[in-house]
Amino acid sequence: MATMAATGDSLSLGRKLALLSWPLVVLLCLLAGVGVAMLYSAGGGSWEPWAVRQVMRFGVALVLMLAVALVDLRFWLRHAYTIYFASVALLVAVEVAGATGMGAQRWVDLGVVRLQPSELMKIALILGLARYFHGLSMEDIGRPGRLAVPLLMILAPAFLVLRQPDLGTAAMLAVGGAAIFFVVGVRLWKFGLLGLLGLAALPVAWNVLRPYQQQRILTFFDPESDPLGAGYHILQAKIALGSGGIFGKGYMQGSQAHLDFLPERQTDFIFTMLAEEFGLVGGLSVLGLFLLLFAYGIAIAVRIRNQFGRVVAIGVTVTVALYVSINIAMVMGLVPVVGAPLPLISYGGTAILSVMIGYGLLLSASINRDALIAKSGAPADT
């Protein structure tokens, strides 16, 4: 018979709230607070147009995260494939009749709200892969044929996102999926084989890219070759980072951002504005908060006894860590500009919603960490 620990439904609401990782919730709120403060600065000391909307969006996302966290983990296991295929369908809807903004077709207009399905796909992919690998033994994972389905689950949405076009999110879906492959125990030599196939496919991939995407990559190697065109973003970002020094110029005193030299200061380049105003100390402090967030995520993951919850927790943590790493590397000129927002800090509705839903799933896995779940999603007998 199943133990009480194995049955998530046996936990009362009070018990679930007691098991909730409140330090993790506090960290999320602190990082979102930093984002609101920087958006207030980006607006020239005004709540409009970005800060007030971010506060409202985070409030809704926080309530939604807690609701997701309090749902039994088996519910998410049973509906993981449904959520995955619904997200793929939204990506197809973007392809057919998506709304265009900033030169890209990435949104679905639902009348009341505009959704960016590629952001939701990040979490749906984690759920789908976690569900698939939950049903496999280590022997099954070791068979190459068993990896064809999850590989297709990664490549299909990545291809649809690339067509929008959104090179950064497509790459993150691929890298995040590969990270989950590594976590569940796929052998390293298979990654090496995929790497060689990827290198062989580079000429084809290069021809698939749009001209402006090719130009971004070429400019990454020599930004000074086009300082007023494709290299403008990264050159201005480097100037802002350097001008901040150790302690920064002061809150709302950043000249690059407030004199409109720094592009997209409310989204992709918000960390650059933060570093200009608060310097190296401020930048490292924010990175410290993110590292603490990731440490909590990994600590929770290693304590989870069921494969589904463990993969979800690690998948969410790794995905957010990838976005943080790519965003900061991008504004420092270490990787090409690919349009990766800084989680919880950059302005964006669907982006912050997807991150908070992801952490809601992680918290649900934490609450049900002792649950022994069978492959079908039912409680396992002990």
- Going from N- to C-terminal start, the domains of the chain cover 8-367
d(CA 100, CA 92): 14
Number of other residues whose CB lies within 10 A of the CB of residue 295: 12
Please tell me the predicted confidence (pLDDT) of residue 8. Answer: 42
Burial of 280 (0-12, 13-18, 19+ CB in 10 A): middle
pLDDT of residue 166: 80
Cβ 238 vs Cβ 269: under 8 Å = no
What's the pLDDT at 380? 57
pLDDT of residue 67: 96
Q: Which residues of the chain have pLDDT under 70?
A: 1-10, 97-106, 110-113, 198, 201-202, 204-205, 208-209, 212-213, 216, 219-231, 372, 374-382
By CB atoms closer than 10 A (0-12, 13-18, 19+), residue 337 is: buried
Q: What is the pLDDT of residue 40?
A: 95
d(CA 20, CA 71): 12
268: Cβ contacts below 8 Å, ≥ 6 apart: 327, 330, 331, 337, 339, 340, 341, 342, 346
Q: How far apart are CA 253 and CA 105, in angstroms?
A: 35
**Tokens at residue 62, please?**
């926080």
C-beta neighbour count of 163 within 10 angstroms? 14
Total Cβ atoms within 10 A of residue 178: 17
Alpha-carbon distance of 69 to 18, in angstroms, equals 12
pLDDT at 223: 64
Residue 157 and residue 84: Cα distance in Å, rounded? 10
Predicted pLDDT at 289: 96
CA dihedral 78, 83, 89, 93 (to 10 degrees): 160
Strand, helix or coil at 112?
coil
Q: How far apart are CA 254 and CA 259, in angstroms?
A: 8
Per-residue pLDDT, 377: 58
CA angle 342, 344, 345 (to 5 degrees): 60
Measured between alpha carbons, how far is residue 12 from residues 19, 53, 65, 105, 315 in Å? 11, 35, 18, 45, 27
- Beta-bridge partner residues of 100: 105
Q: What pLDDT is recorded for position 4?
A: 37
Longest dimension (CA), the chain: 70
Predicted local distance difference test score (pLDDT) of residue 47: 92
Q: What pLDDT does 379 receive?
A: 60
Tokens 């790459």 sit on residue = 171
Tokens of 72: 């039994």
Beta bridge partners of 379: 373
β-strand pairing of 114-115 with 99-101: unpaired
Cα 339-341-345 angle, rounded to 5 deg:
160
CB atoms near residue 281 (< 10 Å): 13
